[in-house]
Amino acid sequence: METIQEQQAIDSAAVARGERAGSDGDSVPCVSQLSTLLGAVPLGVGSGELIDQIRGLEDLKWAVTGLQARAAVALDLAQRREQTVAGVPASEQGQGVAAQLALARRESPNRGSRLLGLAKALVTEMPRTLAALESGQLSEWRANLLVRETAGLSAEDRCAVDEELAPDAGTFEGAGDKAIIAAAKAAAYRRDPRSVAQRASHAATERTVTLRPAPDAMTYLTALLPVAQGVAVYAALTRKADSARSGGDSRTRGQVMADTFVERITGRRGGISGVDLEVIMTDRTLLQGDAEPARIKGYGIVPAAWARGLVGAGGAAATGGGPAPKQDEEFAVWLRRLYTAPSTGDLITMDSKARLFPPRLRRFIEVRDDTCRTPYCDAPIRHIDHVVPWRSGGTTTVDNSAGLCEACNQTKENPGWTAKQVVEDVHTLEVGTPTGHSYRSSAPPLPGHVRRPPSPVGT
C-alpha cells in the first residue's frame, strides 16, 4: 500500500508532465498552459511594478523547483516498480534514475545525482524546508545547504532538525548563506554530536585536487584539504610572498604565492616538466599566423597567439607579424600531426580488429572527444568503449567508439539504456533511456571547422 508521501510524489509527476486530474478523472493540460500564460505576461510599468514582478517570478521559480523535487522522487519510485516487474535484483534497482533526471534537466550526471539526493531528502525527511522552497521563502541553493549540513543524521533526527528550524515560518528571512549553515550545523550537533564528529572525520578521506578552466587561458587548480593542512599550505605561501616582497621583488603578493606554489609542486621554474600537452591547431595557425583558436585536450579553447607561443613557433608569419615568442629552454616541444578531411573536418579514422582499444587508438579518440560524450556531461574521459557493444557485433573502430567518464560508462550498461552513432551527423552519439527519451551529443569541432547544429531528436 502506497504511503501519503509516495502518492503525493506520483501526483506531482503527473502535473510535471503536463497533466492534472480533473473531476472526471481525465488528464487536463497544465504545464503547457502555464508556459503560454507566462509568454503573454507583459512587463511591469515603472520601477515599482518591475520589482514586484521580479519578486513574484522568483517565488514562482522556487515553487517549480519544489514540484520538480516531488516529480524526481516519483520518477525514482516508478522506475523501481518497473525494475521489480522486470526482475531486476533489489540491490540494483534505482540505478540510472539520477542519469535520466540529469538528461531531462540538461545537467551533468554528477549534478543529477545531487539533485536526486536533494529531492529525496526534501520530500521524505524535510517537509518544512520543502514547504519553504515551494512558497518562495527559500531558494534551491539554500535548501541544499540545509540538506547538506544535516546529511549525517538519521531520518528521525533530520526531520526533528527540520521541525526545529522551521524554514517555512520565516526563520531565515534576511539571513545569508553563512547564517543558514551555522544554524543547521548547531541544530544537527545538538541532535547527534557523534554523527557530526564522524562526518568530519570521514571528510578527510575525500581530500582531492581538481582542475577547471578559467577565462583568458587560465585555470582554477583547487585542493580540498583537511583544515590543518590547508591552513599550513596557505601560511607557507604567505610567508614566502612576504619575504620576497620585503626583499624588493616587483611581483604582487598573489603572483609570488602562485609562482611559488607551481615551483614547489613541479620542482622546476615555470612548472612544465615532462608533461604532454596536446595542443590541436590548424597548420595555418601554426605556420601562417592565422587567428583561428587552438584547443588543449582537457582544457578547451585557447587563443592562437598563446598556442604558438607555447610550442615556440617563431618567425613573423607564425606570430602574425610580431616578434617571435621566447621559448622556455626547459620545455622540449614535440609536434604530433593529426590530419582532417577537408570537406567535413573529421579526423582521419583508424581501425583495429582487437576487442580492446589499442593505446594509439585510445589516444586518438581522447583527442577527438575531449570530454565525456554523454549529453551535458563534461567530465574527463576515463573509459573508451564501444557504442554498439562488442558482444552485439560492434567493431573496435573510431566510428564505433566513445570517450566516457567512469560513471556514464557504467550507467549505459543498465537495462533499458541504448546508444548508437548518428550517421548523418559528424561524430554524433544518440543515447536512449528506459523511458523512451533520446538525447544527442557531438564531439567538439576541431579548430578551423564550423559544425552545423546536430539534427533534432524527439523526446
User: Over the stretch 111-165, which tens digit does the pLDDT of each residue have?
Assistant: 999 999 999 999 999 999 999 999 989 999 999 999 999 988 899 999 999 999 9
User: Span 244-260, mean pLDDT?
Assistant: 90
Residues 6+ apart with CB under 8 A from 275: none
Using DSSP's 3-state secondary structure scheme, residue 212 falls into strand
pLDDT for the residue numbered 151: 87
pLDDT band at residue 8 using 50, 70 and 90 as cut-offs: very low
pLDDT for the residue numbered 345: 58
Q: What are the pLDDT digits (tens) for 165-182?
A: 999 999 999 889 999 999
> In percent, how much of the chain has pLDDT > 90?
32
The closest of 93, 96, 177, 162 to 132, measured between CA atoms, is 162
Does residue 450 have a pLDDT over 80? Answer: no
pLDDT for the residue numbered 4: 44
Give the integer Cα–Cα distance in Å for 290 and 320.
7
Higher pLDDT, 281 or 403: 403
pLDDT for the residue numbered 126: 96
Using DSSP's 3-state secondary structure scheme, residue 269 falls into coil
Residue 451: other Cβ atoms inside 10 A: 16
User: Span 199-223, mean pLDDT?
Assistant: 86
Contact (Cβ atoms closer than 8 angstroms) between residue 421 and residue 369: no
> E-assigned strands of 271-387?
279-280, 294-296, 300-302, 383-386
pLDDT band at residue 308 using 50, 70 and 90 as cut-offs: confident
User: Span 247-259, mean pLDDT?
Assistant: 90
CA angle at 115 for the pair 109 and 116, rounded to the nearest 5°: 90
For 423-447, give the DSSP string: TTSTTEEEEE-TTS-EEEEEPPPPT
For the purposes of burial, counting CB atoms within 10 Å of the CB of 176, is it exposed (0-12), middle (13-18) or buried (19 or more)?
exposed
User: Span 194-222, mean pLDDT?
Assistant: 84
pLDDT for the residue numbered 456: 53
CA distances for 309 relative to 142, 298, 304, 333, angstroms: 45, 19, 9, 11
Contact (Cβ atoms closer than 8 angstroms) between residue 246 and residue 237: no
Residues 6+ apart with CB under 8 A from 302: 217, 279, 293, 294, 295, 296
pLDDT band at residue 422 using 50, 70 and 90 as cut-offs: confident
Contact (Cβ atoms closer than 8 angstroms) between residue 81 and residue 73: no
pLDDT for the residue numbered 15: 44
pLDDT band at residue 14 using 50, 70 and 90 as cut-offs: very low
Which span out of 14-18, 39-43, 287-291 was modeled with the highest average pLDDT? 39-43
Pairing mode of beta strands 401-404, 218-224: unpaired
User: Span 408-426, mean pLDDT?
Assistant: 84
Does residue 322 have a pLDDT over 60? Answer: no
Return the minimum-mean-pLDDT range out of 212-216, 341-345, 435-439, 440-444: 341-345
For 22-57, b where at least 16 C-beta lie within 10 A, e where not — what string?
eeeeeeeeeeeeeeeeeeeeeeeeeeeeeeeeeeee
Contact (Cβ atoms closer than 8 angstroms) between residue 354 and residue 395: no
Does residue 277 have a pLDDT over 50? Answer: yes
Higher pLDDT, 191 or 201: 191
pLDDT for the residue numbered 339: 53
Q: What are the pLDDT digits (tens) for 339-390?
A: 555 555 555 444 444 556 777 788 888 888 888 989 888 888 888 888 888 7
Higher pLDDT, 265 or 159: 159
The closest of 167, 159, 170, 165 to 126, measured between CA atoms, is 159
pLDDT for the residue numbered 302: 79
Higher pLDDT, 410 or 130: 130
Does residue 99 have a pLDDT over 90? Answer: yes
- Give the DSSP H or E segment for 401: strand 401-404
The closest of 442, 434, 449 to 344, measured between CA atoms, is 449
Residues 6+ apart with CB under 8 A from 386: 394, 395, 396, 400, 401
Higher pLDDT, 360 or 56: 56
Q: Answer left, alpha or beta for residue 288, where phi above 0 means left and psi between -120 and 50 means alpha.
A: alpha
Q: What are the pLDDT digits (tens) for 232-242?
A: 899 999 999 98
Handedness of CA 166, 168, 170, 173 (dihedral sign): positive
Type of residue found at 151: A
Higher pLDDT, 224 or 391: 224
pLDDT band at residue 443 using 50, 70 and 90 as cut-offs: confident
Give the integer Cα–Cα distance in Å for 17 and 68.
10
Does residue 41 have a pLDDT over 60? Answer: yes
